[in-house]
């Protein structure tokens, strides 16, 4: 069988490697040219995602990231609230890994290419005919036996499967980030500092080479359009937002050699239809979680591995797709809801902020005691189950 995989982000290359292992020939079609990789946002792959990669023979140590095992939570006035684990430590010492998104894309793609997977770049899916021929916007086409939509938040495959499929929802937060050099801040590398600032949320972590990686989440009631995002001087805007806080945010932003964003953040709570005939969606195309969940990449990896297992164990493509959906839907929808709750305290109004700052120390003291137990279901999921 030949699988057409649309999207060369995270879910696509992982699905390709997983399918190859069960005897299905994958081809990955990516809309962007390969050179589209660049400096950009970073993300964290949690231990559940890393364990899923391990089932394909990809070790966390082969990825270009660094361990981020703990969070130190603070308020904007500088008060520390609590220190929490960023997921569990596995028996072999594996913990959550933080890496540039482009670095993860490149590592997964390079490994897939090394294993013989074919990638075609500059191929934007336009439509699908019959069962199944993919047509691209450059007028070319490719026939296959099944088609996997790993084409992200604005998935074309999602709307080809169901023209009434919901669109991603703006969650009231933007995302900016950057990288700074030449700072001497306290604390060990890999400790993520998360700050509920007076006007904006700020996160920073020291990388092992001493650079500081950071992100900020300005709030917006109304979704900004592309022109507003592109036309904003984010460095100045962020400096203004953090001016009154007793935190290193201003110093970090001033010393940044790279400031990225802003992007609007979205999630996609429930996509009613994931599959039709020989087409199916995985990753953000099927269920996007807010960046605050820290699970989008891990969910995409899990989906890809589970889908290949279903295709291996079920007698027909249709039954395999149904099995995949049955194994994945409840979990991913719960993670998306969890991500939305995580993001909800990041940009409150003045009254909400006073209440938040009163409640947060209690909430985090409780989480410090019970958090590991409460979040076990996220991290202990194993794709082999």
Query: Which residues lie near ligand FAD (CB under 6 A)?
Result: 6-12, 29-32, 41, 43-45, 101, 123-125, 150-152, 156, 175, 263, 283-285, 291, 294-298, 300
Q: Write the DSSP assignment of 269-281 as a string of letters.
A: ---S--EETTEEE
**Tokens at 296, concatenated:** 């989008």
Contact 254, 178 (CB under 8 A): no
Q: Cβ of residue 119: shortest distance to ligand FAD, in angstroms?
A: 11
Q: Cβ of residue 138: shortest distance to ligand FAD, in angstroms?
A: 11
Task: Tell me which residue of 293, 268, 308, 325 sits closest to 53, measured CA to CA.
Answer: 308
**Tokens at 162, concatenated:** 């169901």
Q: Cβ of residue 152: shortest distance to ligand FAD, in angstroms?
A: 3
Nearer to ligand FAD, 10 or 271 (CB): 10
Reduce the DSSP state of residue 80 to 3 states and report it.
Answer: strand
**Tokens at 376, concatenated:** 């076990």
Nearer to ligand FAD, 45 or 212 (CB): 45
Nearer to ligand FAD, 235 or 246 (CB): 235
Nearer to ligand FAD, 9 or 357 (CB): 9
Question: How far does Cα 230 stand from its chain's mean position?
Answer: 22
Q: Cβ of residue 64: shortest distance to ligand FAD, in angstroms?
A: 15
Q: Cβ of residue 98: shortest distance to ligand FAD, in angstroms?
A: 8
**Tokens at 94, concatenated:** 């594996």
- d(CA 230, CA 224) in angstroms, rounded, equals 10
Task: Tell me which residue of 298, 211, 220, 222 sits closest to 257, measured CA to CA.
Answer: 211
Q: Cβ of residue 47: shortest distance to ligand FAD, in angstroms?
A: 12
Nearer to ligand FAD, 11 or 279 (CB): 11
- d(CA 317, CA 302) in angstroms, rounded, equals 19
Q: Cβ neighbours of residue 102 under 8 Å, at least 6 residues apart?
A: 37, 38, 39, 40
Reduce the DSSP state of residue 221 to 3 states and report it.
Answer: coil
Reduce the DSSP state of residue 201 to 3 states and report it.
Answer: strand
- d(CA 83, CA 74) in angstroms, rounded, equals 9
Nearer to ligand FAD, 95 or 353 (CB): 95
Nearer to ligand FAD, 261 or 345 (CB): 261
Nearer to ligand FAD, 41 or 67 (CB): 41
Contact 104, 12 (CB under 8 A): no
Tell the burial category of 315 from Cβ atoms under 10 Å away from its Cβ (0-12, 13-18, 19+).
Answer: exposed
């Amino acid at each position: 069988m030949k699988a057409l995989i649309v999207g060369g982000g995270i879910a696509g290359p992982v699905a390709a490697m997983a399918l190859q292992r069960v005897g299905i020939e994958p081809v990955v079609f990516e809309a962007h040219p390969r050179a589209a990789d660049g400096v950009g946002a970073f993300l964290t792959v949690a231990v559940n995602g890393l364990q899923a990669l391990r089932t394909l023979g990809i070790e966390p140590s082969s990825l270009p990231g660094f361990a981020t095992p703990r969070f130190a939570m603070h308020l904007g006035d500088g008060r520390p609230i609590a220190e929490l684990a960023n997921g569990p430590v596995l028996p072999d010492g594996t913990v959550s890994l933080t890496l540039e998104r482009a670095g993860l894309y490149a590592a997964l793609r390079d490994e897939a290419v090394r294993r013989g997977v074919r990638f075609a770049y500059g191929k934007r899916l336009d439509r699908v005919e019959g069962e199944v021929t993919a047509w691209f916007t450059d007028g070319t086409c490719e026939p296959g036996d099944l088609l996997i939509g790993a084409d992200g938040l604005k998935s074309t495959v999602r709307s080809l499967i169901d023209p009434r499929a919901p669109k991603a929802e703006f969650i009231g937060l933007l995302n900016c980030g950057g990288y700074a050099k030449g700072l001497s801040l306290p604390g060990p590398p890999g400790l993520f500092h998360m700050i509920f600032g007076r006007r904006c949320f700020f996160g920073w972590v020291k990388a092992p080479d001493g650079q500081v990686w950071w992100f900020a989440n300005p709030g917006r009631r109304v979704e900004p359009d592309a022109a507003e995002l592109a036309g904003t001087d984010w460095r100045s805007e962020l400096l203004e937002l953090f001016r009154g806080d007793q935190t290193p945010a201003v110093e970090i932003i001033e010393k940044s050699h790279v400031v990225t964003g802003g992007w609007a953040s979205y999630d996609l709570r429930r996509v009613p239809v994931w599959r039709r005939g020989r087409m199916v969606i995985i990753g953000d195309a099927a269920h996007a979680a807010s960046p605050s969940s820290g699970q989008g990449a891990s969910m995409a990896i899990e989906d890809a591995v589970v889908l290949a297992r279903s295709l291996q164990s079920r007698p027909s493509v249709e039954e395999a797709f149904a099995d995949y959906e049955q194994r994945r839907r409840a979990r991913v929808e719960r993670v998306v809801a969890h991500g939305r709750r995580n993001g909800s305290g990041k940009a409150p109004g003045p009254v909400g902020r006073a209440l938040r700052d009163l409640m947060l120390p209690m909430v985090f003291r409780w989480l410090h005691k019970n958090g590991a137990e409460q979040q076990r279901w996220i991290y202990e999921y194993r794709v082999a189950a």
